[in-house]
Amino acid sequence: MAASTSVPIGVFDSGVGGLTVLRALRAALPAEDFIYLGDTARLPYGTKSAGTVSRYAIQAADALAARGVKCLVVACNTAASVAIPVLAARLAPMPVIGVIEPGAEAAVQVTRHGHVAVIATEGTVRGGAYPLAIAGIAARVTTTQRACPLFVSLAEEGWTDGPIAEAIARRYLEPLFRTPSAPDTLLLGCTHFPALIAPIRRVTGPAVTIVDSAETTARATAARLVQLGLARRAGIGSVKLLATDGPERFARVGSIFSGEPIAPDEVELLDL
């Protein structure tokens, strides 16, 4: 049976970082209902093996599919880098959209000199999904990757600016951007990283174009729903929040990423 336009969209991430994608989705699709699942009991995904991340992604996707979603958005870069094919096959014909391809396309479009830096978790960098996606779009573009695992911890703690955040940003990024062949474009390959945009920008300087995959993913999702006749065109959408651990912490830290307050009683605890 074909999905109804009134059915919600499912979004999942390893934690609260994917709320940046949810925020962009809500702006692009204000009439849609959303169910967001943050697998906070098992974050971070970025330090775990591809097999473990795929298993976690399947469990999260199945939980959302069981609630009757019409589309799945994988807002976790690490999960998207390893699990999209298996999720697409498992949930077909439901559309499954990840953050990798939209982010790669946006970076290729804006790079001026054909050199893109990608910062991400260890798992995303190790999997090489972004260089592969960028090369598939434009072989002329050079991609340089850098794992920045502490950015995730800083964002989860709410330490998004100040001397500690800036010192870590400089440690990670100065070797990339203080060279004659520095990239002209920086792709934020983790949904946590937009929260640290202030210290990141102080290191890169104003000439570097920063690409956040949240908005590009939202546009790709909107286009896919229209293409499939699944877009809801009227009404005001709602959001249901699910977490696998710590609703209070999810609410506190998640408010940073969502851009609006979240009360602990708005977060439903889910056991995967």
The 10s digit of each residue's pLDDT in 136-192 is 999 999 999 999 999 988 988 888 999 999 999 999 999 999 888 999 999 999 988
Distance of CA 14 to the CA centre of its chain: 9
Question: Identical fold at 9-98+215-269 and 101-213?
Answer: yes
Q: What angle do CA 181, 186, 191 make, to 5 degrees?
A: 155
149: amino acid identity, one letter: P
User: So what's the pLDDT on residue 2?
Assistant: 56
Query: For residue range 59-76, what is the model confidence (pLDDT) as tens digits?
Result: 999 999 999 999 999 999
Tokens 């592969």 correspond to 132
User: So what's the pLDDT on residue 155?
Assistant: 87
Give the C-alpha separation, 127 to 256, whole Å: 28
What percentage of the chain exceeds 70 in pLDDT? 99
For strands 34-38 and 239-243, give the pairing.
Answer: parallel
Q: How confident is the model at residue 94 (pLDDT cuts 50, 70, 90)?
A: very high
User: So what's the pLDDT on residue 43?
Assistant: 86
Residue 180 in tokens: 């004659």
- CB of 69 within 8 A of CB of 36? no
Residue partners of 182: CB distance under 8 A and separation at least 6:
115, 176, 208
Q: Name the E strands within 43-132.
A: 71-74, 96-98, 115-120
For strands 71-74 and 209-212, give the pairing.
Answer: unpaired
Domains of the chain, by residue range, sit at: 9-98+215-269, 101-213
User: So what's the pLDDT on residue 1?
Assistant: 43
Q: Catalytic: 76?
A: yes
Report the pLDDT averaged over residues 21-26.
Answer: 96
Tokens 């995730």 correspond to 152
Is the pLDDT at 206 greater than 90? The verdict is: yes
Query: For residue range 224-263, what is the model confidence (pLDDT) as tens digits?
Result: 999 999 999 889 999 999 999 999 999 999 998 898 999 9
Q: Which of 254, 236, 29 is nearest to 9 (CA)?
A: 29
Q: What are phi and psi of 254, to 5 degrees?
A: -60, -30
User: So what's the pLDDT on residue 156?
Assistant: 80
Active-site residue, selected from the candidate residues 190, 218, 231, 267: 190
**CATH code for the structural domain at 101-213:** 3.40.50.1860
Q: How confident is the model at residue 83 (pLDDT cuts 50, 70, 90)?
A: very high
| Residue 120 Cα distances to 46, 126, 160, angstroms | 8, 10, 16
Q: How confident is the model at residue 44 (pLDDT cuts 50, 70, 90)?
A: confident
Active-site residue, selected from the candidate residues 69, 74, 76, 97: 76
Q: How confident is the model at residue 46 (pLDDT cuts 50, 70, 90)?
A: confident
User: So what's the pLDDT on residue 242?
Assistant: 98
Provide the mean pLDDT of the chain.
94
Q: What are phi and psi of 98, to 5 degrees?
A: -110, 175
Residue partners of 194: CB distance under 8 A and separation at least 6:
20, 188, 212, 214, 257
**CATH topology (fold) of 9-98+215-269:** Rossmann fold (3.40.50)
Residue 74 in tokens: 């994988």
User: So what's the pLDDT on residue 158?
Assistant: 83
Q: How confident is the model at residue 51 (pLDDT cuts 50, 70, 90)?
A: very high
